Amino acid sequence: MVAAAPAPDWSAFNEEAIDLLCRFIRIDTSNPPGNEVLACDFLEPLLAREGITCQRFDAGNGRVSLRAVLPGDGSKRPFMLLNHTDVVPVEREFWDVDPFAGVVRDGYIWGRGALDMKGLGIAQLMVFLTLRRLGIPLARDVIFFAQADEEAGSEYGMRYILRNHPEAVDAEYIINEGGGATTELFGVERPVYSIAVAEKGPLWLRLVAEGMPGHGSVPHDDNALDRLVRALARVQAWERPLTVSPVLEEFFRRLQRAGIYRGDATVQGLAARAAEDPRIRAMLTNTISTTTLHAGIKHNVIPARAEATLDIRLLPGVDPAAFQGELERVIDDPAVRIEPVHVRASDTSPFDTELFRCIESVIHEFTEDAVVVPGMTLGFTDSAETRNRGIISYGFTGGLTTPEVARGVHGHNERVAIDAFTLNCRLLWEVTVRMCARQA
């Protein structure tokens, strides 16, 4: 059994966590350009004050990541608390508050990053600092790792570190973003915690067509834009099969038992729901969204070049090169060039593990009627890189959030309920202590 750990003063813990999150949100790390060195300049003194030494990983131009370690006795392999410090840009005119003010209002902490993912980052930081302050003996090294550039593909963050310092990411288990806790799912009001064990992989492509320019009054058959439009029409008409992976079989099976999903969880049964619900469709198939289209210089000039971008998200295990080959066959026009922009395949972590069972047990202690399911993240996170290296990596966010508030991720008026944030801190503390404290 794990030795009983000293209990934090939860009132003081929560007060400090809320203050730190508000201050962290006020640091504008919008990516681009990122400038995550500012986040490191905020975090490092907090750690140094507790006698914790930090290591910086500088990819240049202010793209800096920060790592700190609480050493264990080595009887178990390391446990990593992974987060990223960059945030997506904002459209200030659509916000009800200054997105970088870090204000508390109406029971919420408001600002860009409150949900994605400075909130979880501060929860991880508070757990890390409190382990140190209470002097809890550890069986594992506990690693706090704040990454740059996750929102733009991790070229100056996780990918940079894995190329140059792969030893820094050695761990048995990682807790990162990607999971979620919702108060309602499929119209049923009941707490559902999705522990992300997989995620879709991005395959971002640019389609380029070139042709003969000319006067708009004399149409011809080598119009670059016409060629590109025909290619896009073929892509949009392409019907791709649905696939229910073992993770999603378990996801729907658990929701069925709880009375939350009331349909047939086979491919045939899910097909009708997928036709109506874009999120279910995205869970079950490789998706393609046309996101930009550029061509032309003047109303009466046939363009010499036209290009479009496709945001493709591939199910775990799908080979990007093979999928691109299928896309080329669908387009069936060698004059339309396909250029990769960002590619990241993704493996799946098992969910029959000590960590998954620990998370599930802790959740049920604090939210008795909760349903805990293994899930798949539709977006991408740094966990794709770590899963591909065999590290069990879970997206786990313990703060219950309404669907309305959850839409603030990458949207307007991003905020986190104080109750949800403090619950997130508490659950993460319990999981980390149970996984890492030395045995009695």
Give yes or no: residues 63 and 140 share one domain: yes
Is 194 part of any domain? no
Is 25 part of any domain? yes
Tell me the pLDDT tens digit for each residue of 262-313. Answer: 888 889 889 988 999 999 999 999 999 999 999 999 999 999 999 999 999 9
Nearest alpha carbon to residue 379 among 242, 279, 230: 279
Alpha-carbon distance of 216 to 21, in angstroms, equals: 56
CA dihedral of residues 134, 54, 123, 313 (deg, nearest 10): -150
How many domains does the structure of the chain reveal?
2
Give yes or no: residues 150 and 207 share one domain: no
Reading the block at residue 290, the tokens are 């046309």
CB 201 within 8 A of CB 345: yes
Residue 34 neighbours by CB distance under 10 Å = 25
Q: What is the pLDDT of residue 69?
A: 98
Alpha-carbon distance of 99 to 124, in angstroms, equals: 22
Tell me the pLDDT tens digit for each residue of 333-376. Answer: 999 999 999 999 989 999 999 999 999 999 999 998 999 999 99
Give yes or no: residues 227 and 170 share one domain: no
Nearest alpha carbon to residue 30 among 94, 95, 104, 111: 111
For residue 381, give the 3-state DSSP assignment: coil
DSSP 261: -
The CATH number covering residue 325 comes to 3.30.70.360
Averaged pLDDT of the chain: 96
Tell me the pLDDT tens digit for each residue of 77-90. Answer: 999 999 999 999 99
Burial status of residue 316 (CB atoms within 10 A of its CB: 0-12, 13-18, 19 or more): buried
**182, pLDDT greater than 60:** yes
* Domain region containing 203: 199-343
Give yes or no: residues 298 and 149 share one domain: no
Q: What is the pLDDT of residue 188?
A: 96
Is 143 part of any domain? yes
**439, pLDDT greater than 90:** no
Tell me the pLDDT tens digit for each residue of 101-160. Answer: 999 999 999 999 999 999 999 999 999 999 999 999 999 999 999 999 999 999 999 999
Q: What is the pLDDT of residue 266?
A: 87
Is 150 part of any domain? yes
Q: What's the whole-model pTM score? A: 0.94
Q: What is the pLDDT of residue 293?
A: 97
